[in-house]
């Protein structure tokens, strides 16, 4: 009974928050509510017994997107104005038309989904039944890197293409990202170096742990990459990493390394194993861990650079 | 369901109520810092709820989620306090 009450409260809170995020006319309030929505969403995935999704939601939804929205909010604010500026509202009748149309769309899709017959044999059950053939113990990693490896490869390519696209669009604007912080030490609170000294090594440790745990429990390259990207954001905002206009050879290697490594191992599978993107007998776990390590960097670096709004980053300690 | 798990869920429910009450602070503000502090309170409460759920539903991986929330709360605070305004550098 108490779990029912918990779930009902969670659903009510989610719906209320979602309405507030969209309906609130004060921008900063919407940003904070969106961060809260991401946290509640992680609890929802936890309740649905999907820790993988809870991890991804906590890292991307609440962490990275929250930092991105906060930076965007700062960029939108005119200088010297600290108030919560209200944006110009859409005329009421247009808002009503949009609401009715989206409501009808959601109702139509919901109606169609409710009418579907549940399939007798789903791909998920088959993946669980044949988990032993994948070489890893975590069903999610088995699907991502063994059974449906081609999807994962395409996803990383999409991320890389998104990074290139953002660079092309941002180049003429010249002022993407949160702007450089010229002097790391200038006017910095005394607690900041201490915070970094604790958080950054811990974050690297957590990323490594998540990467390694992907083989046998929830975790993996995406979560580890998101944690590394969040650390990159932290170092970028405190001036330890400075935005620069050129991408260094090491950064280029990290950007494409994961894709090249994944493709090379996948193509080698045509000769050494049964098919393209299949792994040779007995080598699956080692190769999957190797690919995931490359993918972690290929996910973390584009995300950090997209936040930074620059082509590259240079270390500049104190 | 065992008694301990019911107690875990009951405490989680109480914390969730706390969290939703904190929404009032986000709503009224008045300052940006008040709203951000409320978000940080959400983060801490979410960690507690996740740890309780990890016990109640026997999903140890949820502790990793709690760990991640703790780590990323630090990033959010820095993003709030250290993001420079564009106009300042022009």
So where are chain A's domains?
1-49, 52-76+136-318
Residues B78, A234: C-beta atoms closer than 8 Å:
yes
Q: Are B42 and A35 in contact (CB under 8 A)?
A: yes
Residues of chain B contacting A64 with CB distance shorter than 8 Å: 72
Of A10, A16, A209, the CB nearest to B16: A10
Residues of chain B contacting A210 with CB distance shorter than 8 Å: 64, 68
Answer whether residue B39 is part of any domain.
yes
Cβ contacts of B28 within 8 Å, gap of 6 or more = none
Cβ contacts of B90 within 8 Å, gap of 6 or more = none
Distance to chain A for B41, nearest Cα, Å: 10
* Contact A66/B at CB under 8 A: yes
Which token pair is A291?
């690919």
Question: Average pLDDT of A115-136?
Answer: 80
Which pLDDT does position B42 carry in this prediction? 87
| Residue A10 predicted with pLDDT over 80 | yes
Closest to A239 measured CA to CA, from A291, A181, A280? A181
Average pLDDT for chain A: 83
Percent of chain A with pLDDT over 70: 90
Which pLDDT does position A89 carry in this prediction? 63
Question: Average pLDDT of A112-126?
Answer: 82
- Spell out the alpha helix ranges (H) of chain A: 2-23, 27-47, 51-56, 65-76, 92-114, 123-129, 139-142, 149-173, 191-213, 221-237, 249-272, 284-308
Phi (first) and psi of residue A70, to 5 degrees: -65, -45
Residues A32, B46: C-beta atoms closer than 8 Å:
no
The ipTM assigned to this model is 0.88
Answer whether residue B28 is part of any domain.
yes
* Contact B27/A at CB under 8 A: yes
Answer whether residue B37 is part of any domain.
yes
| Residue B39 predicted with pLDDT over 50 | yes
Under the banding of pLDDT at 50, 70 and 90, the label for residue A176 is low
Q: Are B90 and A81 in contact (CB under 8 A)?
A: no
Under the banding of pLDDT at 50, 70 and 90, the label for residue B84 is low
Answer whether residue B86 is part of any domain.
no
Residue range(s) defining the domain that contains residue B73? 3-81
Answer whether residue B87 is part of any domain.
no
Q: ∠ at Cα B77 (A186, A30), nearest 5°?
A: 125
Distance CA A295, CA B65 (A): 21
Higher pLDDT, A187 or A39: A39
* Contact A223/B at CB under 8 A: yes
Which pLDDT does position A215 carry in this prediction? 78
Closest to A136 measured CA to CA, from A149, A122, A146? A146
Q: Domains in chain B: how many in total?
A: 1
Distance to chain B for A17, nearest Cα, Å: 9
Question: Average pLDDT of A78-103?
Answer: 71
Percent of chain B with pLDDT over 70: 88
Average pLDDT for chain B: 81
């Amino acid at each position: 009974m108490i779990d029912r009450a918990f779930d009902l409260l969670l659903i009510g809170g989610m719906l209320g928050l979602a309405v507030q995020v969209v309906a609130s006319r004060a921008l900063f309030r919407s940003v904070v509510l969106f961060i809260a929505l991401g946290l509640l969403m992680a609890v929802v995935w936890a309740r649905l017994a999907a820790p993988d999704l809870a991890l991804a939601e906590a890292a991307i939804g609440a962490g990275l997107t929250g930092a991105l929205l906060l930076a965007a909010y700062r960029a939108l604010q005119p200088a010297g104005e600290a108030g919560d500026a209200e944006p110009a509202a859409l005329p009421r009748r247009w808002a009503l038309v949009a609401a009715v149309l989206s409501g009808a769309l959601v109702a139509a899709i919901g109606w169609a989904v409710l009418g579907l017959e549940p399939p007798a044999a789903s791909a998920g059950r088959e993946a669980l039944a044949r988990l032993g053939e994948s070489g890893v113990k975590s069903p999610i990693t088995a699907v991502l890197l063994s059974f449906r490896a081609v999807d994962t490869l395409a996803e990383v390519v999409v991320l890389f293409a998104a990074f290139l696209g953002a660079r092309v669009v941002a180049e003429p604007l010249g002022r993407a990202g949160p702007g450089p912080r010229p002097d790391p030490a200038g006017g910095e609170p005394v607690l900041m170096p201490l915070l970094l000294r604790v958080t950054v090594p811990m974050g690297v440790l957590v990323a490594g742990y998540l990467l390694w745990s992907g083989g046998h429990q929830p975790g993996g390259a995406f979560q580890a990459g998101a944690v590394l990207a969040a650390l990159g954001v932290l170092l970028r905002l405190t001036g330890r990493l400075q935005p620069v206009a050129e991408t260094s050879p090491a950064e280029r290697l990290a950007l494409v390394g994961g894709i090249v490594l994944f493709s090379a191992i996948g193509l080698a599978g045509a000769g050494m194993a049964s098919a393209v993107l299949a792994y040779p007998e007995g080598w699956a776990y080692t190769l999957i861990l190797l690919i995931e390590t490359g993918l972690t960097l290929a996910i973390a670096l584009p995300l950090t650079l997209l936040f930074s709004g620059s082509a590259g980053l240079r270390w500049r300690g104190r | 369901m065992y008694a301990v798990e019911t107690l875990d869920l009951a405490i989680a429910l109480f914390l969730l109520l706390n969290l939703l009450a904190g929404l009032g602070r986000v709503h009224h503000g008045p300052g940006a810092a008040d709203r951000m502090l409320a978000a940080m309170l959400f983060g801490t409460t979410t960690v507690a709820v996740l740890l309780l759920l990890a016990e109640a539903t026997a999903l140890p991986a949820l502790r990793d989620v709690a760990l991640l929330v703790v780590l990323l709360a630090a990033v959010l605070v820095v993003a709030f306090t250290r993001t420079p305004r564009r106009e300042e550098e022009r």
